[in-house]
Structure 1
Amino acid sequence: MTPTPEPIGGPRTATARPDRARRVLRAVAITACVPYIALKTAWLGGSRIGMPEDSVLLDDTAVTAVANLVTLVLDACVIVLALLLTRPWGRHVPAWLLVVPMWTATGLLAPIMTAYPLQLLVRALGGGGGGASGGGGGGEGAEPFLHEWVFGMVYGGFIVQGLSLGALFALYARDRWGHLWRDRVRDLPPAGTLRRAVTGAAALVALVPAALHTLWASGFAMGADGTRLAGRSTGELAVMEATSAVFPLVAVAGAGLLVLGRGGARRVRVPVRVRVRVPVRVPVRARVPLRARVPVWVPLAAAWLGSGATATWAGWITLASLGGGGIASGTSGPMYLAYACQMIAGALVAAVGARFLAGRARAHAGATAAPVRPPNAPACAPAPAPAPASAPAPVARPRTPDGPNVPSTPDAGDAPDGRTSP
């Protein structure tokens, strides 16, 4: 039996066992979850390991227990995602059931993966003090709510989880949906008015948190006096706020390339006036062709990463501040405004990306499902007559004086009963 070849440009639906690289990444992701889950389980069981005597986490034990339970479940979801991305049954999971948790995990892990190593670098260069939480978790430099080794163990595990889980998702997405972003940005068809308007609204909303976080990273205390930001060291605060300002801009830039930058391949000519020093000054006018050759996956990845980090991280901080405790008393009105705008901008960019991928999937499905018709064939061609089952048996001709009889098929001159015509 001849195997059916895989359709060119379509998704891969094979259910073979994962290769060695994927098995290693899965094992690394699951192993990286063990320290955090063990620590949270110990805290839920009443242990105070890693907590100073005057930690703010001990002020309201009920709120702390709920937060520990929620974060324990979230980290356990990483194990489920690692299995889903590598097991055969994961290929049949609906897209939204995988994309939504993976987008949330990306948004919660990306700020820590970005800010915490930079904060360690700033601290090593002498620009940070001890006891900061790294990644914006709401720690206070003068009175840390956890011992320093806890941050190293927890955030180190988060970084390993993010790298391994991100690699697994990239391989999974390439196999299942890679045909949706194989083009270049310049080859995309024009976008609709609605998507352009949503992208513009996301850009306007993203300017608010980007401006506020930039001010706080620069040292201005606009709306940050008396808050949990005031207890941070200067270097670590600058790193945390700078990353919070960059992610909304990355999200909007990715959505802008997907939507506002469409229109097909176009050559942009930019007039450049160059003056050359010669005995007689002659203005030289040149035209420089600029052509966008950016692959589609680049702005799509930027929109994915930026929207997830912008919306989910701000939502998590807002939820934690509304739950009470020290973080609630240290959150000001401008900070709530920044978090609200981040959630709105991230949600808008995510909607633009989802609509873009849905349109690409429909276009690809329509292109592969359309029947192939010859270019010169009429719209309603008559069906050809069925071919005979087999050719007629040859009829033996009688021996003649001129030579032996020769087998022959009946021709037009033969009689209907099979006898040879004279």
Structure 2
Amino acid sequence: MERWDRIGRAAAYGAAAALVPYLVIKVSWVVGSLLGLLPVGRGFSLGGWLVLNTVTIGMAAAGITLGLALVRPWGMRIPGRLVAFIAWVGSGFLVSILPFVVISALVNSGSRTGGSGGSGSSGGDAAMPGWEAVLLQCSFVGTGIALAVALPAYLRRRWPHVLRRPERTPTSTGPLWPAVTGAVTGLAWLYWAAGGPLGIAHRDERPANWHVLVGVSACWALAASAAVLALVRGRSTRLPYPLLLAPAWLGSGSMFAWSGWRLPATLYVALAHPSDVSYPENVAVAVTLHLTAVLTGAGIMRTLVRGHRGRLSVPAERVGGRL
């Protein structure tokens, strides 16, 4: 246990450190754009570019704070719901980014596609230097891997109950609708990723990266749907509880985070009609799917939390969590 705890603490510092290059690059983009030293991203006005990158700066700062909170003494005193929410959203972003980076690199043979097509990019454009793209990807990959080790270690210290099956199945009386809507959304995205034309307005504007990211999102949506369905129907006895909890947690976070990010971007393109940006999807269909995904992700998370109500408020000293 002590060895695992030491590894988890080192990983928490690593997660915070991995996001520093991302934060520095984003700050440089904002400052450079304000001073006229760097170009504004394709499809954005100066104001929109500054807003987008300021938001991502805040997200990076929150990620660094989360990494430090998983290891520093003050992290054990932060309200459990706040820690859980930030970790859930952050994990949702990262579990889609990690396979996306790997698969898209293979699909594109190392080339970088800068298309907007709903890819959920962080705001760069085709003129980004290669070294910046590498640093950004390393930040995401490093943070994702480090948090995968640091977060369970933190949970073991603060709330060891959460990783064990509760006496009452957390979703034994939960609703089925999140599993149904998650499956429908995942199947729709999988259909698009496979090249399906229904719901696509611009068939020629689907770069390889778009197919990869939509496919990854589809897989996480389907995994979360299957996991929560197994819990709701009481079919979780054959698998260890963490093996069902993990895909439900990560998949719901992926749906909530990524669709929550894409939804305002899609609405912006629909309302502002920028001349050099268009999404492959039909706007009405895309908005409907993203809104459904956000509600589904929140519904799955609420279902899981109901089974652990009161567990996240157990003081650390009562569960053997020492610093």
TM-score interval (norm. to shorter): 0.7 to 0.9
- State the Cα distance separating 1:360 from its structure 2 match: 6.5
Paired AA for residue 96 in structure 2: P
Q: Which residue of 1 aligns with 2:185?
A: 209
* Aligned with 1:224 (options 200, 219, 237): 200
1:342-369 per-position Cα deviation (integer Å, ceiling 9, x unaligned) = 112111101101101117779x99xx9x
Shift of 1:333: 1.6
Q: Where do 1:299-318 residues align within 5 Å?
A: 299-318=244-263
Residues in 1 aligned to 2:5 and 2:220: alpha-carbon distance in whole angstroms: 33
Pairwise CA RMSD of aligned residues? Answer: 3.6
Alignment of 1:91-240 (within 5 A): 91-124=76-109, 130-132=112-114, 136-137=119-120, 144=126, 146-183=128-165, 192-193=172-173, 195=174, 198=175, 200-226=176-202, 230-234=204-208, 236-240=209-213
Q: Would the aligned equivalents of 2:92 and 2:256 in 1 still touch at CA under 8 Å? A: yes
Runs of 5+ in structure 1 lacking a partner? Answer: 1-11, 264-291, 369-422
Unaligned runs of 5+ in 2: 319-323
2:232 corresponds in structure 1 to 259
Partner of 1:75: 60
For the structure 1 residues 183 and 347, does the alpha-carbon distance in structure 2 shift closer, same or farther, using more than 3 Å as the test?
A: closer
**Partner residue of 1:60 out of 11, 25, 45:** 45
Residues 48/133 of structure 1: CA separation in 2 closer, same or farther (3 Å cut): farther
Q: Name whichever structure is richer in strand by fraction.
A: 1
> Which residue in 1 is equivalent to 2:16?
30
CA 335–201 in structure 1, closer or farther in 2 if over 3 Å, else same: same
Deviations 1:87-123 (A, max 9, x none): 1222222210211111111112221112111111222
CA–CA distance in structure 2, aligned partners of residues 316 and 100 of structure 1: 16
Which residue in the other structure is 2:309 paired with? 358
Aligned counterparts of 1:139 and 1:97: Cα–Cα separation in 2: 24
Q: Which has the higher contact order (CA 8 A, sep 6+)?
A: 2
Q: CA deviation at 1:296?
A: 1.2
Relative distance call for 1:225 and 1:164 in structure 2 (3 A) is: same
Is the 1:208–1:341 Cα contact (8 Å) retained in structure 2? no
What is the distance in 1 between the residues matched to 2:179 and 2:12?
A: 37
Distance in 2 separating the partners of 1:334 and 1:191: 30
Secondary structure in 2 matching 1:224: coil
Aligned-residue sequence identity (percent) comes to 28
1:315–1:328 Cα change, 3 Å: farther
2:189, 2:215 within 8 Å by CA — same for their partners in 1?
yes
Tell me, yes or no, if structure 1 residue 319 matches structure 2 residue 319.
Answer: no
In the aligned structure 1, how far is the partner of 2:50 from the partner of 2:170?
51
Partner of residue 6, structure 1: none
**CA distance in 2: counterparts of 1:192 and 1:340, whole angstroms:** 26
**C-alpha deviation, 1:145, in angstroms:** 6.2
Give 1 or 2: higher helix fraction.
2
CA-to-partner distance for each residue in 1:206-265, whole Å, 9 max, x for gaps?
2332232122111122222327xx43334x3432221121111111122123221259xx
The structure with the largest alpha-carbon Rg is 1
Q: Is the 8 A contact 2:170 2:303 kept in 1?
A: no
Aligned to 2:296: 345
* Alpha-carbon distance in 2 for matches of 1:36, 1:179: 34
* Mapped contact 1:208–1:338 kept (Cα < 8 A): no
The answer to whether residue 65 in structure 2 is matched with residue 84 in structure 1 is: no
2:92–2:254 CA contact under 8 A, matched in 1:
yes
SS at match of 2:265: helix
